[in-house]
């Protein structure tokens, strides 16, 4: 069975000292608040309410860890880019996420959710900078793709890939919708291949 379908909540951490021990390859999920990250994790895990923590602005920001079977892990990073986030909240976010991304040796891949209607916002680009030195595999999911026409989706896919290439930020990019399930199986199988440290499947488009 897919490791994602065996996802189980493990721990919440508000500071790096609280991160669970590194036992196996980990995939982290990031994206600005409201981009559809929790829905995407739930869709990949085939569950309704697996990821639903830390959603309120101002609430303690935590990284939520899940076991994926008995080997791999998933880390749900707090959403970024609240327009009105107070400075200390943002500083806390940077320390938590910076500590995670720079110090987590088991980190195998990072999934960045971006709204398919407006990908690569300033906050998205800022976040991607964190990943530059980390040497992890990257997957960009263009979320809520059901809000675009077929042609609009393809156009966004192409332009996002081009923009990432131009920024020398290699990443796989897929259209994704928790509502229609577009991209769910494709993302799941690519991530599982990465977690198993196998060669990823050939890109289909």
Query: Which residues of this protein are in contact with ligand GDP, per CB under 6 A?
Result: 31, 33-39, 55, 79, 143-144, 146-147, 177-179
Nearer to ligand GDP, 34 or 60 (CB): 34
Instruction: Choose between 25 and 78: whose C-beta lies nearer to ligand GDP.
Output: 78
- The smaller minimum CB distance to ligand GDP, of residues 82 and 130, is found at 82
CB of 64 to ligand GDP, least distance (A): 11
Pairing of strands 172-175, 137-143: parallel
Q: Which is nearer to ligand GDP, 34 or 102 (CB)?
A: 34
Alpha helices in 54-182 (DSSP H): 87-103, 122-131, 150-166
Residue with tokens 């892990």: 73
Q: Which residue reads 């916002």 in tokens? A: 121
DSSP class of 205: -
CB of 182 to ligand GDP, least distance (A): 8
Tokens (6 digits) for 45: 């895990």
Q: Shortest approach of ligand GDP to residue 147 CB, angstroms?
A: 5
Cα dihedral 146→150→152→154 (10° resolution): 110
Find the shortest distance in angstroms from Cβ 40 to ligand GDP: 7
d(CA 11, CA 122): 30
The residue (of 2 and 33) whose beta carbon lies closer to ligand GDP is: 33
| Nearest distance from C-beta of residue 26 to ligand GDP, angstroms | 19
**CA separation, residue 94 to residues 46, 57, 89, 119, 137 (Å):** 30, 15, 9, 21, 21
Backbone angles phi, psi at 111, to 5 degrees: -105, 125
């Amino acid at each position: 069975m897919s490791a994602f379908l065996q996802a189980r909540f493990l721990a919440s951490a508000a500071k790096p000292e609280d991160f669970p021990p590194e036992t196996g390859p980990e995939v982290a999920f990031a994206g600005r608040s409201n981009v559809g990250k929790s829905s995407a994790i739930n869709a990949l895990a085939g569950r309704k309410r697996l990821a639903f923590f830390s959603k309120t602005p101002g609430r303690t920001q935590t990284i939520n860890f899940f076991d994926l079977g008995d080997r791999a892990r998933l880390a749900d990073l707090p959403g970024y880019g609240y327009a009105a986030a107070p400075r200390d909240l943002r500083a806390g976010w940077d320390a938590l996420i910076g500590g995670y991304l720079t110090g987590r040796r088991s980190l195998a891949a990072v999934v960045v959710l971006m709204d398919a209607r407006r990908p690569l916002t300033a906050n998205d680009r800022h976040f991607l900078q964190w990943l530059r030195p980390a040497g992890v595999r990257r997957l960009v999911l263009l979320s809520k793709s059901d809000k675009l026409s077929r042609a609009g989706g393809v156009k966004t896919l192409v332009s996002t890939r081009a923009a990432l290439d131009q920024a020398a930020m290699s990443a796989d990019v897929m259209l994704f919708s928790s509502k229609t399930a577009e991209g769910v199986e494709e993302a799941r199988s690519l991530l599982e291949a990465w977690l198993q440290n196998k060669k990823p499947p050939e890109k289909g488009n």
